[in-house]
Amino acid sequence: MKYNSIAIDGPSGAGKSTMAKRIAAELGYLYVDTGAIYRTLGLFALRNNADPGKWEDVEPLLPQISIRMDHGTDGLQHMYLGNEDVTEEIRRPEVSTAASKISAIPQVRAFLMDMQRDLSKQHHVVMDGRDIGTVVLPHANVKIFLTASAEDRAQRRYEELLSRGNDTDYETVLADILERDRRDMGREAAPLRQAEDAVLVDTTGNSLEESFRILLQVVRECFQ
Ligand code: DC
């Protein structure tokens, strides 16, 4: 059977996961959050006192890691290190930074490639990340590049962190977003960029509902 895939790429805090989750629910597709996979690897590096920015530190860890993903009947993606559910822990700000650093290592990207592609061979997927439309699923049926101003993205991320009980301030979150943009776009291995055949959607100033309506329309038009 041939499975459909929808690729949603864009910078941190653009609302990719919220939108991808809703589109997946609307179409009955599997939602795959690839950032969570990099985050799990970043957490593993931190726990092993490895510098996630140094490939010499990270490469020897790869054969040791047991990373697993599971989509329960609730449709939510849970991440496991061995048998430990780390779904919540990988959202901590220091894990965000570790994930951004570790994702610049080509050996890491190659290591995670099959895991991501295999899912698209077994399910209709909505997959979000940084290089889904450009590298992981270059033949995706729909490609969307979702973005918003850095200030809008920082505000959303700030509210999300507060709701998770993190004690932080807006300026710190904005600085972190700008730094992650710089790293994710500036790296040599699969940098964040819009695929030539992706539809650009800028959600600056839009409500979640408006953004969702626009994205759903883009998806429907691509399938017509
Ligand atoms: O989407 P996120 O913020 O959870 O992703 C965490 C980091 O992982 C992000 O800084 C960049 C990296 N990443 C990547 O390089 N490629 C992907 N497909 C997904 C995430």
For 32-82, how does the pLDDT look when each residue is reduced to its tens digit (9 = 90+)? 999 999 999 999 999 999 999 999 999 999 999 999 999 877 778 999 999
Amino acid at 212: F
What per-residue confidence (pLDDT) applies to 224? Answer: 83
Residues of the chain with pLDDT under 50: none
**What pLDDT is recorded for position 209?**
95
Q: Which atom of ligand 1 is nearest to the CA of 16?
A: 1
Residue of 19, 100, 112, 188 to test ligand 1 pocket, by largest number of atoms within 8 Å of CB? 100
pLDDT number for residue 204 = 95
CA distance 76 to 120: 17
3-class SS letters over the chain: CCCCEEEEECCCCCCHHHHHHHHHHHHCCEEEEHHHHHHHHHHHHHHCCCCCCCHHHHHHHHHHCCEEEEECCCCCEEEEECCEECCCHHHCHHHHHHHHHHCCCHHHHHHHHHHHHHHHHHCCEEEEECCHHHHHCCCCCEEEEEECCHHHHHHHHHHHHHHCCCCCCHHHHHHHHHHHHHHHHHCCCCCCCCCCCCEEEECCCCCHHHHHHHHHHHHHHHHC
Tell me how far apart the alpha carbons of residues 199 and 173 are, in angstroms, rounded to a whole number: 28
Taking the chain, what is the end-to-end CA distance rounded to the nearest angstrom? 20
The whole-number pLDDT of residue 1 equals 79
Top mutation candidate among 43, 91, 109, 130 for ligand 1, by most atoms within 8 Å of CB: 130
Atom of ligand 1 nearest to the CA of 13: 3
- Please state the pTM of the whole predicted model: 0.93
